[in-house]
Structure 1
């Protein structure tokens, strides 16, 4: 969650936390995380941690905005007491710094079904079309089943604004589709439906079983337009 929400929806955030859900960081205001210098990342992350702490929420992990870690993430996050990071396309494992990496699977994100710029990353019914809520359910379970079959981990992602056809109303069919995915997961005895924090803690306790990736750099296939634009802007400013 981006920390600006604390100042706009404090009661909702307290209710989420009190219901037992984990709240992780998604930056201050969706800044493109991979462009931050080490000092900037340390400052932004500390502000996030401190802001949530004032509301009684302990932040232990980061899903970097843009889904790409900064060059200093592997060391900055453990310094500030965080235990995991969840970027796109980086293999799950534990880094030498003690930070757990929980791969965010873009094919198991609502953007791959409902977001036109991202449908190309979908494995289920691969095409360039936006799919229905019914397809969202089957596509998410398709990805989850692949993880179950190999005894692996999968981290899914959903966004409030992709549950809405317009800024002023929520799509009940998309909300029901998300609820159906949750129900199917809960009903499957093969699945440990844990919070990212719980998964990270377990991995760190069994670190030798989860060798970390060599790098937090994004895979070549993850090249969204906003990242290309940021790189061009950075290069033109050099």
Structure 2
């Protein structure tokens, strides 16, 4: 399948730079946040530096943000949108999507899209926290006009209800290398050096296959100079590699939807 894919301008592969988790939404949901809302250090410290690096390298990203955060960080969200970054949907307060009951899923949809309407955000795409999507989610996404979903997976294509699938793989997520709970897990050696090595290798592999790759950096995890060096290395590579089409998820989804004959059902 991959050898038949034609990306824009003759590029060999498509890559989206993505970010997840906007501020303290998840911690508020879990009942462990004790500071005033709107003061998360990931947003006040790390994100501004990340956005400056994205600007410097001309990279437009997709930020999958919890809808709860739209009203807590309105200026931050508007600033990202004004820079050309896409705001994607990441549930209401980072509920683990695969564990939700039908009623809980409906409530997250209701609250999230009400917040988005109030704030003036149109969701092109959804990344389910935890990476799993429920059977009934497909029809709900279609009803709300959501064009793509970004669950855990390995192959981009067309999913159910003609919703485009732009998967992420756990091995291309910084959390697997930076969070203590994953140390010694499936991916062996952890840390910034290992993460950089993997991404550099994976970018070459996706060019060979002609496919799609989503890379994921969480602002709350960019806490050291070493981690920021990894981030800048990856951004520089994406900006300078003339064989890679680096675009927000919404643009990749639009391309796939307009070139369906090239993509399998996944």
Structure number with the higher strand fraction is 2
| Counterparts in 2 of 1:40 and 1:207: CA distance versus 1, 3 Å | farther
| Contact map agreement 1:34 1:71 (CA 8 A) in 2 | no
Deviation at 1:42, TM superposition (A): 3.8
Q: Is the 8 A contact 2:68 2:112 kept in 1?
A: no
Match of 2:50 in 1: none
- How many pairs are equivalent? 201
Deviations 1:78-129 (A, max 9, x none): 110101111112532102411011111111110222123335343xxxx2x4
Q: Residue 130 of structure 1 corresponds to which residue in structure 2?
A: 190
Q: Which residue of 1 aligns with 2:201?
A: 142
**1:200 pairs with 2:200:** no
TM-score by length of 1: 0.77
Residues 207, 118 of structure 1: CA spacing in aligned structure 2 closer, same or farther, 3 A cutoff? farther
Instruction: Spell out structure 1 runs of 4+ moving beyond 4 A.
Output: none
CA 1:68/1:80 → structure 2, altered by over 3 Å: closer, same or farther?
same
1:66 Cα deviation from its structure 2 partner: 0.8
RMSD between superposed Cα atoms in Å = 1.8
Give the structure 2 partner of residue 92 of structure 1: 156
Superposition deviation, residue 58 in structure 1: 1.6
User: CA offsets, 1:166-204, max 9 Å, x none?
Assistant: xxxxx2321232122111111000000011111111111
Instruction: State whether structure 2 residue 205 is matched by structure 1 residue 151.
Output: no
Contact 2:155–2:212 at 8 Å: present in 1 too?
A: no
Cα separation, partners in 2 of 1:203 and 1:102, compared to 1, 3 Å:
same
Output the CA distance in 1 between the equivalents of 2:204 and 2:181: 25
Q: How does 1:201-220 map to 2 (within 5 A)?
A: 201-213=254-266
**Could you say which residue in structure 1 is the equivalent of 2:168?**
104
Moved more, 37-46 or 200-209: 37-46
Counterpart among 171, 181, 186 of residue 234 in structure 2: 181
CA contact (8 A) 1:89 1:105 kept: yes
Q: Which residue of 1 aligns with 2:141?
A: 77
